[in-house]
Amino acid sequence: MAPVRKKTSKLRKSPKNPSKIQPKNNSTSESEENSPPPAEQFELGDHNSDSASELSSDGDDPLTDDFLQGSDDDEEKASEGASGSGSDSDDDNIEKKSIAIDEEKAREEEDAEAEMQLNINQESDEFRLPTKEELGEEALRPPDLSNLQRRIKEIVRALSNFKALRHDGSTRKDYVDQLKKDICMYYGYNEFLIGALVEMFPVVELMELIEAFEKPRPICLRTNTLKTRRRDLADVLINRGVNLDPLSKWSKVKAEDSVLVGRGMVYRKRVSRTLKTEEFYSTMQCNSATIAIFSRSATLVGLVVYDSQVPIGATPEYMAGFYMLQSASSFLPVMALAPQEKERVVDMAAAPGGKTTYIAALMKNTGIIFANEMKVPRLKSLTANLHRLGVSNTVVCNYDGKESDQLLPNVSPKENSVLADSRTINLSEKLSDPVFKLNIHYAAFHSQLPKVLGVNAIDRVLLDAPCSGTGVISKDESVKTSKSLEDIQKCAHLQKELILAAIDMVDANSKSGGYIVYSTCSIMVAENEAVIDYALKRRDVKLVPCGLDFGRPGFTKFREQRFHPSLEKTRRFYPHVHNMDGFFVAKLKKMSSSKPGVKPSETAEKEEETTTFVKEKEIKGGVKENGNVSSESEFKKKKRKFSSKPSNGLKENGKESSESEHKKRKKRQFPSKEEISNASIFFSLGAAISTLRRRHESIL
């Protein structure tokens, strides 16, 4: 402030050294009007020089200078001083005043703006992604969790409004990469899994999901309707000091969710700002025990346990088989299967029997259930649970790789695995891998399972496939680090084998059934939609609605993959949306026992193979034919030659005659002789060759 007024006053009051000040002042006033900040700088500098010059040159008039300078600080004084000097008119005075006021205003604004700019810069500095050097430093130190968490939050914020909050020069990819690294560090995921999750969810939702994975899901139990009713069980348990609630319908969530289902993710993001959805999400997240549930059958049997004074897994009621501890998500595939009484049902991967016993309860112990389990150690829990819950309509069987050898009795194990291999894709080089071999055995056996239980002889099949378990991270933390792309692919391959076996078992003409339910506790697309899509192509099946009125529809397209449009009938469940384990359910109806998908594709493959073969053959044949054409003539000639030669050999007695003959022939059949020499005798003399060549040329 001060320097400006000083200048103006000086302009007026001390014209003693105009040569020094005048031009500068002009320039400053001009620049002040045009671009304030440089003017300030300039003046500041100028003031210094001025004060120096004042000290030296204006030393003779210190009083006025002092006086003026003093007045500079205060506007009134300045005006007094100006009026006191009396050299200018009142108009002039007012003008100066107004100019001074204007300038001051401009200056204030300017300061404010500068300050604001400074603040903005500082803020944007906070969002800035760490540089490589900083990351390098960070890597040396132990991880600072609070800092990581802050950075994750900021990156998520920046990504959710990227246009406004991005830092210049860094792309979205930079942000996402940094986010991935931070999440890996903070939550302990491996890079593959985080990469896969980032591909599936927008960042805000991703964070919700990951947070949900950190918390345990509520404990659920299912009433065994073979032995008791839910009401009675609840009373008994409440008397034992268990705090529980029926697993009930939550109409609000359902309504909200059906909206979400209808419009998909984008819509959800948009409405999440409206009050309704915010309410919905806050209730969702606050009340961790509430579950978005359920259709009729589940509401009749499900109970949620909040807390308990007794171990809920060791009450007399539990031992007596009145209930089964079971996560809410494992109700879903059985509800989708909706088994009827007197049906033939197969549970292809049954242990530990939660779903099998639920099926039996729905069937009221009628009909027959084939409960298969591959892993021998898990059979014990399966049979124990079946007996504990009083299920008597079940045949438990265990097939594993060894059996597959017996089922194909004339095939040695090695050949058998190769046989299985021929049905699979790109496995030949991985046969040495023991895990793979096991899988192959498993697959080989399972494709035998229809033969054991009957092809086209089953009403419903539940395939709760073995999977990577990426939906149940809250139960098993090791999934965070243990899974890789290979594991997912192995699982997916196994699942494809299993689902085809499942479909082959089902009777398409079943009066009441003809359904296959496929479920996994994984949220990977490769293990879910891709498997169903594969089945749709390979067998005459179609997707039908699961009968679950909530859950997200499955992906019909995912990144570069495009699935059958009916895949929206499948259902996905997420911990952060439905408060149950990550889960996938699909229900297929078998239309006919033909394998339309197989024949075209297989034959097509075969055709392709054969055509390529034919082409190769043609090419080879052509070459050979060409070769033959040329060689045939040669051959004939040779034949002639050979036929004559043995005669020569045989007639060893008459050497002279033979020699003469030979000479004669030499003269007659010179080219053939040359060929023979070329073919058999490579060490003939160079001179001879050259002469032969010459002769040959002359002949040609």
Annotation: binding site for S-adenosyl-L-methionine: 349-355, 373, 400, 464
Edge-to-edge, what's the strand order for the sheet holding 219-223?
A: 242-246, 302-308, 219-223, 323-325
When binding is defined by CB under 8 A, the residue of 21, 304, 312, 386 that contacts another protein is 386
Q: Which is nearer to another protein, 313 or 596 (CB)?
A: 313
Q: Is the peptide bond before 613 cis (omega within 30 degrees of 0)?
A: no
Q: Which of 184, 467, 491, 521 is catalytic?
A: 521
Closest among 583, 586, 490, 569 to 535, alpha carbons compared = 586
Give yes or no for residue 317 binding another protein (CB under 8 A).
yes
CB of 441 to another protein, least distance (A): 13
- Can you say which residues are annotated as belonging to the binding site? 349-355, 373, 400, 464
3-state secondary structure of 57: helix
CA quadruple 229, 231, 232, 236: dihedral sign: positive
* Stretch 496-535: interaction string toward another protein, x if CB under 8 A: ----------------------------------------
Stretch that binds another protein, among 63-71, 283-291, 387-395, 469-477 (CB under 8 A): 387-395
Two tokens at 15? 């014209």
Residues 417-446 that bind another protein (CB under 8 A): none
408 touches another protein by CB under 8 A: no
Q: Is residue 488 classed as helix, strand or coil in its secondary structure?
A: helix
Instruction: Name the minimum Å distance from CB 199 to another protein.
Output: 41
Quick one: tokens of 21?
């000040």
Instruction: Note whether 508 and 514 are within 8 A (CB).
Output: yes
Query: Residue 395 interacts with another protein (CB under 8 A)?
Result: yes
How far apart CA 450 and CA 454 sit, in angstroms, is 5
Q: What is the closest distance, in whole angstroms, from the C-beta atom of residue 407 to another protein in the complex?
A: 8
Residue 344 sits at the vertex; the CA angle it makes with 340 and 348, to the nearest 5 degrees, is 105
Q: In this chain, which of 379, 462, 530, 546 binds another protein, going by CB under 8 A?
A: 379
3-state secondary structure of 561: strand
Question: Which span (41-49, 71-79, 377-385, 568-576) binds another protein, by CB under 8 A?
Answer: 377-385
Residues numbered 438-497 forming contacts with another protein, rule: CB under 8 A: 452-454, 459
DSSP secondary structure of 184-226: HHHH---HHHHHHHHHHS-HHHHHHHHHHHHSPPPEEEEE-TT
302 binds another protein (CB under 8 A): no
Sign for the CA dihedral angle at 340, 344, 349, 352 comes to positive
Does residue 413 bind another protein (CB under 8 A)?
no
Draw the binding track, 327-346, toward another protein (x: CB under 8 A; -: no contact). ---------------xxx--
Nearest approach, Cβ of 366 to another protein (angstroms)? 5
Closer CB to another protein, 302 or 353, in the complex? 353
**Collapsed DSSP state (helix, strand, coil) of residue 294:** coil
Which residue has 């004060």 as its token pair?
51
Smallest separation (angstroms) from another protein to the CB of 385: 8
Cα–Cα distance between 462 and 632 in angstroms, integer? Answer: 66
Residue with Cβ nearer another protein (44 or 395)? 395
Question: Which residue number, 344 or 578, has a Cβ lying nearer to another protein?
Answer: 344
| Number of residues near another protein (by CB under 8 A) | 44
Report the residue number, 305 or 320, with the smaller CB distance to another protein: 320
With contacts defined by CB under 8 A, name the span among 287-295, 392-400, 485-493, 623-631 that binds another protein: 392-400
Nearer to another protein, 26 or 381 (CB): 381
Stretches 51-59, 61-69, 312-320, 550-558: which one binds another protein (CB under 8 A)? 312-320
SS3 state of residue 530: helix
Question: What are the beta bridge partners of residue 462?
Answer: 347, 517
Residue from 48, 258, 366, 594 in contact with another protein (CB under 8 A): 366
Q: Can residue 193 be called a binding residue for another protein (CB under 8 A)?
A: no
Per CB under 8 A, contacts with another protein among 39-98 are none
Question: What are the distances in angstroms from CA 622 to CA 612, 613, 630, 635?
Answer: 15, 13, 12, 18
Residue 220 known to be catalytic: no
Asked if residues 428 and 417 have their Cβ atoms less than 8 Å apart, the reply is no
Which span sits near another protein by CB under 8 A: 89-97, 245-253, 273-281, 379-387? 379-387
Region near another protein per CB under 8 A, out of 112-120, 398-406, 540-548, 563-571: 398-406
- For another protein, the closer of residues 382 and 541 by Cβ is 382
Whether the CB-CB separation of 48 and 24 falls below 8 Å is answered with no
The DSSP secondary structure of 101-132, one letter per residue, reads: HHHHHHHHHHHHHHHHHHHHHHHHHHHSPPPH
Q: Which is nearer to another protein, 376 or 681 (CB)?
A: 376
Q: Select from 189, 201, 294, 322 the one that contacts another protein (CB under 8 A).
A: 322
Residue 347 backbone dihedrals phi, psi, to 5 degrees: -110, 110
Among 314, 425, 681, 700, binds another protein (CB under 8 A): 314
Q: Is 35 one of the binding residues for another protein (CB under 8 A)? A: no
b/e string for 292-314 if b means 16 or more Cβ within 10 A? bbbbebbebbbbbbeebeeebee
What are the phi and psi torsion angles at 255 (to 5°)? -60, -45
In this structure, which amino acid lies at residue 65? D
Which of 277, 357, 383, 439 touches another protein (CB under 8 A)? Answer: 383
Q: How far is the CB of 395 from another protein (least distance, A)?
A: 5
For another protein, the binding residue among 147, 406, 610, 690 (CB under 8 A) is 406
Contact predicate 503/486, CB 8 Å:
no
Using rule CB under 8 A, residue 354 touches another protein? no
Q: Does 175 bind another protein (CB under 8 A)?
A: no
- Residue that is written with structure tokens 């034992």 in the block: 240
**Listed ranges 92-100, 169-177, 253-261, 384-392: which one lies at the site for another protein (CB under 8 A):** 384-392
Alpha carbons 506 and 455: distance in angstroms, whole number: 7
Question: Using CA atoms, how far apart are residues 616 and 532, in angstroms rounded to an integer?
Answer: 36
Phi, psi dihedrals of residue 601, rounded to the nearest 5°: -70, -45
- DSSP notation for 575-627: HHHHSS--EEEEEEEE--S--TTHHHHHHHHHHHHHHHHHHHHHHHHHHHHHH
CB of 196 to another protein, least distance (A): 36
Amino acid identity, position 413: P
Angle at alpha carbon of residue 399, lines to 396 and 405, rounded to 5°: 150
221-280 binders of another protein (CB under 8 A): 236
Out of 2, 112, 120, 319, the only residue in the binding site for another protein (CB under 8 A) is: 319
Binding site for another protein (CB under 8 A): 236, 313-314, 316-317, 319-322, 342-344, 365-368, 373, 379-384, 386-388, 390, 392-400, 402-403, 406-407, 452-454, 459
Catalytic residue IDs: 521
